[in-house]
Structure 1
Amino acid sequence: MPNEQEVFGAPQVLITFKTKATTAIARSARGIVVMILKNEKTDTMGYYKINDVTDIPAEGLTEANVDSIKKCLLGTPLRVLVYTIPDDSVESPTVTQASVLKQIVNIKWNYICNPTGGAQDMEDLASWIKTMRNNKYKTFKAVVANQEADDKGVINFCTGNIKVLNPDYEDGVEEAEQYITYSAAQYTARIAGILAGLALDRSATYYQLDEVVSCEAYEDIDSLINDGQLLLFDEQDGNGVKIARACNSLTTFTTDVGKDFRYIKIVECIDMITDDIRDTFKTSYIGKYINDYDRKMNFVNAILIYFKGLKGNVLDNSPTAINTVDIDVEAQKDYATLHGDDPSTMTEQQIREYNTGTQVFLEGRITPVNAMEDLATNFRM
């Protein structure tokens, strides 16, 4: 007779998945931003956990760095984890951006930016994100400036000459001081905050930045967006400066990574589902159950119910949409072969039930739903 933990364990996992599905939209709007800032006058690293503007310390941060944090908070992320490193006045520092990346590799966060970084910092950050996503299966994402990263986890923000009203401006002072002008790198803080604080039931496309008065203009913005650039633009329609298209830097597409992966909303959806399934497996399954077929199918069925709860806002609810998961039969065959057994002599059910030690092999397919972004209308008379 199974013990009580086994009897009640599967329903507990089911409840966890149901809760995650119910709260998916709310949770997706509460992402965490990691921000790296050159700030220290000595070879040290500082750390600040910022939930809102009241957590910003009165001393210790430069005025420009405080401004970057406030710009990020405008997007209402859950929190901002600020890591400060030596500024350019410190010669040959041992504490660098790489030092921060080592610190954060095993903690939970969503977006990273370095508004004080130079071109090499941006390149290194994009490279690190690629490694983390492709080799370590992390769901980290970075907002960098002017980097053709060609990766779904890297947002390449390229708009410069961003003018914002100077809050300290007074009449009679030179007109040049009426505005503060930001580079693309400096405004990665603002973009990261927007993306971390945006719910999955909408896209950042046409997100309005109320504080921006004007920005760099483009002759052919469509081509630049097609090249994987996230840009701001002003249509001069009275609605101010907006994000033109919420795209990441991905420009190379394959059968496995198609054009849908260029949309930040789609990648965010996939990353959230990946985290939910992985986190639930870690907390509710690892070490708690024997790895037999029945327990595997309990987990599969719990995921299917989780998918059902996501339909309509996160996953496509149309009759043709495919949102499913099951035992990976091909992986089961490979495992059996590696352990000296011949899958060709087995029935499919025997292959599905094959003892895979500690390994759980699943395969699935989902159809994320995007936001309305393009309109084609033909009127006939």
Structure 2
Amino acid sequence: MANEQELFGMPEIFINFRTKGTTAIKRSARGIVLMILHNETIDEIKRYRINDVADIPEKGISEDNVDLIKKTLLGTPLRILLYTVPTTEVESAENTLADVLKLIDTIKFNWLCAPNATEQEAQDIASWIKTQRNIKRKTFKAVLAHQAADDKGIVNFCAEDIKVKKGKSEDGTPVYKTYTATEYTGRIAGILAGLPLDRSATYYKLTEVVSVRQHEDINTLIDKGELHLIDEEDGDGVKIARAGNSLTTFTTDVGEKFRKIKIVEGVDMVTDDLRDTFKKYYAGKCINDYDHKMLFCAAAMVYFDGLKGNVLDKDGKNTIDIDEKFQRNYAILDGANVEEMSAMEIRKYNTGDKLALTGNLVFVDAMENLTIDFTM
């Protein structure tokens, strides 16, 4: 029976990877936003699952918070996972935003926002995201206001005086509301969660915004890792400027390309797809011999092929294979005389329950910069 399950199990990896590859753009446009709001008038935490405006509770959510939720839904994320905590007026509250961060450690989501968080809470979220990404290898990301986090998983949204038309008064005069950067983090998170990976958020138009504070040194601010809204006064409205995250320190492993939100989204999607497929179809279900290692690599290559053109560079070197350096070191530690072994014998060496792979992926960015050099 074990062999029969194995024969039927392995092809599922190919089917799953092929499906993930062909549906990557569609899936990437339906990300999940996790929103934390100060809302409760007593010391408690509540949870809501909001797919669209019809799911917003008629009672229990303040008018201002309903507005923030609706702003987030404008970006058409797959859903909002809403956690509400006590307002700052609740004295000595024991249920805090920090407690929510403990609760969501194992929840699947893409973008986190807290549109009425305090500055300290925003700092705490930034620290939590860094730990989740860099230590626990999660792919969570957050949109926070005025947080120069220097991290590819954190977008530092800095637009202020965001003026939005709310309707008209009884005498027909337009009524406006001005939002802070913090209040509009949900709107940005919704956009990023609802945007497909075949385009960038650069120059994404926020049709509801009438005006926003402008800066003369916008390029300098963007280079500092800030996300801004711009109005070029060309009649096309207010748009997102360069869609970058807060990363400003670059290394050999994490170069400048990782400051682009689109690139990081692609990397995170591939990471999740490979990890989820391995856990579902491979881990504990297949013996760890050479043939099964190569079957997993072959299935992953099928997945990469489906991403070419929109997520991966179709002309780039996108590969995955057994990590021969790991194999060699493992054999040495296991007492084998690798000097008398062929390259294939090292590749096939039994590594117990450990599967170590290596590869190369070339992610493709969206077209954003134009240079034309005409010769007259």
Tell me the TM-score normalized by structure 1: 0.96
1:211 alignment partner in structure 2: 208
Which residue number in structure 2 is paired with residue 201 of structure 1? 198
Post-superposition CA distance 1:324-370 (Å, at most 9, x none): 11111122223233333343443222221111111110111111111
Which residue type is aligned with residue 332 of structure 2?
T
Alpha-carbon spacing, 1:214–1:277, altered in 2? closer, same or farther (3 Å): same
1:326 aligned partner: 321
- Give the corresponding residue for 1:161: 161
CA distance in 1 between counterparts of 2:169 and 2:343 reads: 74
Matched letter for residue 341 of structure 1: A
Please tell me whether residue 350 in structure 1 is matched to residue 341 in structure 2. no
In structure 2, the CA distance between the partners of 1:18 and 1:159, relative to structure 1 (3 Å rule), is same
- Greater displacement, 82-91 / 351-360: 351-360
Find the counterpart in structure 1 of residue 223 from structure 2.
Answer: 226
Moved over 6 A (4+): none
Distance change in 2, residues 1:39/1:346 (3 Å)? same
2:84 counterpart residue number: 84
State the Cα deviation string for residues 121-170 of structure 1 (Å, max 9, x = none): 11111111110001111000000000110010000000011000123534
SS of residue in 2 equivalent to 1:100: helix
- What amino acid is aligned across from residue 370 of structure 1 in structure 2? D
Q: Which aligned pairs between 1:1-381 and structure 2 lie closer than 5 A?
A: 3-167=3-167, 169-171=169-171, 178-318=175-315, 321-381=316-376
* 1:365 to 1:84, Cα distance in 2 relative to 1, 3 A: same
Q: How many residues align?
A: 376
| 1:259-295 superposed Cα distances (whole Å, 9 cap, x missing partner) | 1100000000010011111010011111111111100
Q: Which moved more, 1:39-48 or 1:88-97?
A: 88-97
Q: CA deviation at 1:44?
A: 0.3
How far apart in 2 are the matches of 1:344 and 1:61? 69
Give the aligned CA root-mean-square deviation in angstroms.
1.4
Once the two structures are TM-superposed, the CA of residue 172 in structure 1 deviates from its matched residue by: 6.5
Q: CA deviation at 1:8?
A: 2.5
The one-letter code matched in structure 2 to 1:36 is: I
CA distance in structure 2 between the aligned counterparts of 1:147 and 1:3, rounded to whole angstroms: 54
Q: What's the secondary structure of 1:80's corresponding residue?
A: strand
Partner Cα separation in structure 1 for residue 56 and residue 270 of structure 2: 32
Structure 2 vs 1, CA of residues 342 and 114 (structure 1 numbering), >3 Å: closer, same or farther? farther
Q: Which stretch has the larger CA shift, 205-214 or 344-353? A: 344-353
Gaps of 5+ in 1: none
Normalising by structure 2, what TM-score? Answer: 0.97
Name the CA distance, whole Å, in 2 between partners of 1:91 and 1:330. Answer: 58
SS at match of 2:167: coil
Match of 1:375, SS state, is: coil
Q: Deviation of residue 171 (structure 1)?
A: 2.8
Q: Secondary structure at 1:376's aligned position in 2?
A: coil
SS in 2 for 1:27: helix
The residue matched to 1:109 in structure 2 has which SS? coil
Change (3 A) 1:84 1:365: same
1:154, 1:344 → 2: CA distance?
A: 47
CA distance in 2, matches of 1:197, 1:226: 25
- Give the gaps of 5 or more residues in structure 2: none
Identity value in percent: 60
